[in-house]
Structure 1
Amino acid sequence: MSSEPVKRYFRKRVDLFRLLHKLKLWPSHSGTLHGIKSMVEKGEYAEITTHCDHVIIVHNSKRSRVARWLRNKWFFDTCTQCRIPQWKLVKYSQSVFTPHYGSDLTTEADVRRR
């Protein structure tokens, strides 16, 4: 089995909620990376609960600070209470965000709506 993780390609401008659902990571303002325990969507807003029991209300935006930090992989530290496993950090570091290639993270319901 190969020791090098497979690169995963994602579209650059996907909805923030879809990206958070896929990655299950949240960068705080201080640069600490938290793990997402649950996420409840409420229209254009979502209530996110981290593994360290912080509750955050966020707006769905492709150009937000969080979306930029996730795409550019900017974080300074990981939360000690969330205990993000090393394999998840390696998988996240191998993710590539490109504007014209990769998964746009559509769901079955989105495909049916088209």
Structure 2
Amino acid sequence: MCKKEQGHTKKVQALDAKEKKRYYRKNVEFFKLLEKIKLWPSRSGTLHGIKTITIRGNTAEIVTHCNERFIVRNSRNSRAARWLRNKWHLGICRACRVPEWKLEKYSATGLNQFYGSNL
């Protein structure tokens, strides 16, 4: 293989690694989705990073990196579940300091009804 071909294959591999798209099922259990994504959209539209999730039956307590606490119910049709599935958010919490790689991974993740991992 000549040097020109080697350089081209390295560029293709770098693009493939950068643009790797993950797929999850769209209608999975809400708490499993939260444990996997580790992001929480608050009512104001701010995206927070999740520090801990404590599941107690049909409810869970979420503690973010900015030490806000949310008590949420396990509902696939809730506002937060819809916002996570559709990737809606108005801003990112500065106190949580969500890393750029996590936001890129979240935006590259596809949620499909018939294709992807069941978590």
TM-score (norm 1): 0.89
One of 71, 77, 88 as aligned partner of 2:102: 88
Which structure is higher in helix share? 2
Q: Secondary structure at the match of 1:14?
A: coil
Unaligned 5+ runs, structure 2: 1-12
TM-score (norm 2): 0.86
Please list the CA deviations of residues 64-101 of structure 1 after superposition, one character each: whole Å capped at 9, or x if unmatched.
11110001000010000000000000000001011000
Unaligned 5+ runs, structure 1: 106-114
One of 46, 49, 61 as aligned partner of 2:60: 46
Please list the CA deviations of residues 26-46 of structure 1 after superposition, one character each: whole Å capped at 9, or x if unmatched.
001111000000000000000
User: Cα RMSD (Å) of the superposition?
Assistant: 0.9
Give structure 1 regions of 4+ aligned residues with deviation exceeding 2 angstroms.
none
Tell me how far 1:5 sits from its aligned partner. 3.2
Q: Would you say the 8 A contact 1:5–1:91 is kept in 2? A: no
Partner of 1:109: none
Point out the structure with max Rg over C-alpha: 2
Size of the alignment, in residue pairs?
A: 105
